[in-house]
Amino acid sequence: MKTLKNNIYIKVGAIVVIALLLLFPTSMIKKMILEREATQHEAISEVSSKWAEEQTISGPFISIPYYRYVKESSKKDSTEKIVQTKEYLHILPSQLNITGNINPEKRYRGIYEIVVYYSKLSISGSFNNIDFADIDIEPENILFDKAEFVIGIDDLRGIEQQVVLNWNNEKVSFNPGVSSSDIVESGINALIPLNPNDSTAYNFSLNLDLKGSQTLYFTPVGKVTDITLSSEWPDPSFNGAFLPDTRDVNDKGFSANWNVLHLNRNYPQIWKNNSFSIAESSFGIDLLLPVDNYQKSYRSIQYAILFIGFTFLVFFFIEVLNKVFIHPIQYILVGVALVVFYTLLLSISEHLEYNLAFAVSAFATLLLIAGYVRAILKSGKLTLLISGILTVLYSFIFVIIQLQDYALLIGSIGIFLILGLVMYFSRKIDWYNLNFSDKKVMKD
């Protein structure tokens, strides 16, 4: 014990070892945060699987089957035979208009909130006259009587009402599934009359009542695609390949409009088989709840080593400058209190708004450490000093968490200022002649 009191190097080494050992429970809390976040995702997936999953409207487009004949040679007798294969021609609309309203609702699984929605969509547009003479397919091989009007829908359980297609003023019923998986794996289709000798355009319209979870995306398959959505949800996130051209977001909800040209995407208006993919061009709305307590908790614990290290540094300077002795066990107890803060923050933020949870956890930790410091140092001034420094540290971490885009900048400036303060207050200490032997406990 006398060596620990008198030898500064042993004391500094002990403090460093304690700080490093505290990283083990800190890493365990990090793992706990990730596990709780995974549990939240599982709850969302469970509710979504019983309601309807995330939805992407792919299309509409026309798929026309045709026969292709290929010569195949036999290796045994060198004879040739003609093999017939069935392939598909896919045609996209020249004009696509979608207008709709999204009605979100909250569902609960345990302590977790999940957002689901109903949507009412009005889909209309037109297909220009198709000149099949420009396509490298013999007209007699094209099965015009099997032409399908296809809409890709990720989760068919989300369809709420019967869907009827108005095709050139003719009513056509939809069937589930798709005949070809070249473009979409899941969806609905309707057999439509196509006349290759007709030079008129084909107009279509339909209403789609669709429910889903969290996201609603679309693909810009029209030569000109115009999509307008509105909702009472005040916190939308616009994601995907295209952002809205115009949008209005306020406390009462949002409205947004996209206008996408065929020149903005990397696939044509007509192709054969699976030559192109439209999935990469999808875009739309994320109706995610503004609950990011796990991300914020994880970001805050990233600064745990800085927090513990600077607190221990303050204690060490108090020892050096005020001739008091703080036992390594007392360092450990204070360090554990600092680590417990993150457990409090994680657990409380699952039930309260994150900022309030941070304030409650920080206040409880400050109160605990201040009471302990007051008991061991017997000094009101030093207790106020340490409490003030910890308050500044917690405020610093809170600001960094809130300013995600500027976290690196603010963090770098803060660490620089801390280093400057440490260098300033240690400038007159004679480290070679520092003597711990005459230390005493400070009293009021």
pLDDT tens profile 143-190: 988 999 999 999 999 999 999 999 998 999 999 999 999 999 999 999
- Does pLDDT of 51 surpass 70? yes
Rg, the chain, Cα only = 33
Residues 155 and 277 in one domain: yes
Q: Is residue 44 part of a domain?
A: no
- Does pLDDT of 47 surpass 80? no
* Share of residues in the chain with pLDDT > 90 (%): 45
Residues 152 and 247 in one domain: yes
Q: In the listed set 290, 323, 358, which residue is the last one of a domain according to the structure?
A: 290
* Share of residues in the chain with pLDDT > 70 (%): 91
pLDDT (0 to 100) of residue 140: 84
Mean pLDDT comparison of 31-40, 138-147, 180-189, highest-scoring range = 180-189
Q: Is residue 427 part of a domain?
A: yes
**Mean pLDDT throughout 410-435?**
74
Residues 322 and 407 in one domain: yes
Q: In the listed set 233, 259, 290, which residue is the last one of a domain according to the structure?
A: 290
**Mean pLDDT throughout 39-49?**
79
Residues 307 and 428 in one domain: yes
**Helix pair angle (380-402, 354-377), 10° resolution:** 160
Q: Calculate the average pLDDT of the chain.
A: 86
Q: Is residue 48 part of a domain?
A: no
DSSP secondary structure letter of residue 162: -
CA pair distance 332, 318, nearest whole angstrom: 16
Give kind and range of the element (H or E) at residue 422: helix 407-425
pLDDT (0 to 100) of residue 12: 81
E strands of 128-245, at which residues?
148-153, 164-167, 170-173, 175-176, 187-191, 202-213, 215-218, 224-231, 237-240
Q: Is residue 203 part of a domain?
A: yes
Domain total in the chain: 2
- Does pLDDT of 230 surpass 80? yes
403 strand-pairing partners: none
Residues 344 and 424 in one domain: yes
Give kind and range of the element (H or E) at residue 395: helix 380-402
For strands 224-231 and 95-109, give the pairing: parallel
**Confidence grade of residue 430 (pLDDT, cut at 50, 70, 90):** low
Of 3-12, 27-36, 157-166, the poorest mean pLDDT is in 3-12
- Residue-wise DSSP of 292-357: -HHHHHHHHHTTHHHHHHHHHHHHHHHHHHHT----HHHHHHHHHHHHHHHHHHHHHHTTS-HHHH
Q: Is residue 112 part of a domain?
A: yes
pLDDT (0 to 100) of residue 74: 67
Residues 58 and 21 in one domain: no
- Does pLDDT of 418 surpass 90? no
pLDDT (0 to 100) of residue 5: 58
pLDDT (0 to 100) of residue 232: 92
In 3-state terms, what secondary structure has residue 428?
coil
Peptide bond into 93 cis (omega under 30): no
Residues 188 and 270 in one domain: yes
**Confidence grade of residue 432 (pLDDT, cut at 50, 70, 90):** low
pLDDT (0 to 100) of residue 104: 92
**Confidence grade of residue 83 (pLDDT, cut at 50, 70, 90):** confident
Residues 350 and 382 in one domain: yes
Residues 204 and 324 in one domain: no
Which one is predicted more confidently, 170 or 307? Answer: 170
Length of the chain: 444
Which one is predicted more confidently, 8 or 121? Answer: 121
**Confidence grade of residue 77 (pLDDT, cut at 50, 70, 90):** low
**Confidence grade of residue 56 (pLDDT, cut at 50, 70, 90):** very high
Q: Is residue 444 part of a domain?
A: no
**Mean pLDDT throughout 199-224?**
93
Which residues fall within 8 angstroms of residue 42, CB to CB, at 6 or more apart? none
> Which range of residues forms the domain containing residue 101?
54-290
Q: Is residue 391 part of a domain?
A: yes
Distances (CA, A) of 123 to 56, 59, 226, 297, 410: 14, 10, 10, 43, 48
Residues 335 and 270 in one domain: no
Q: Is residue 400 part of a domain?
A: yes
φ, ψ at 93 (rounded to 5°): -75, 155
pLDDT (0 to 100) of residue 444: 38
pTM: 0.74
Q: Which residue has the tokens 């003609």?
A: 82
Residue 60 has which token pair? 């509409």
pLDDT (0 to 100) of residue 443: 42
Q: In the listed set 244, 273, 290, which residue is the last one of a domain according to the structure?
A: 290
Residues 206 and 221 in one domain: yes
Which one is predicted more confidently, 276 or 80? Answer: 276
**Confidence grade of residue 442 (pLDDT, cut at 50, 70, 90):** very low
φ, ψ at 251 (rounded to 5°): -65, -20
Residues 110 and 33 in one domain: no
pLDDT (0 to 100) of residue 376: 86
Of 24-38, 290-304, 331-345, the poorest mean pLDDT is in 290-304
**Mean pLDDT throughout 241-257?**
93
pLDDT (0 to 100) of residue 95: 96
- Does pLDDT of 405 surpass 60? yes
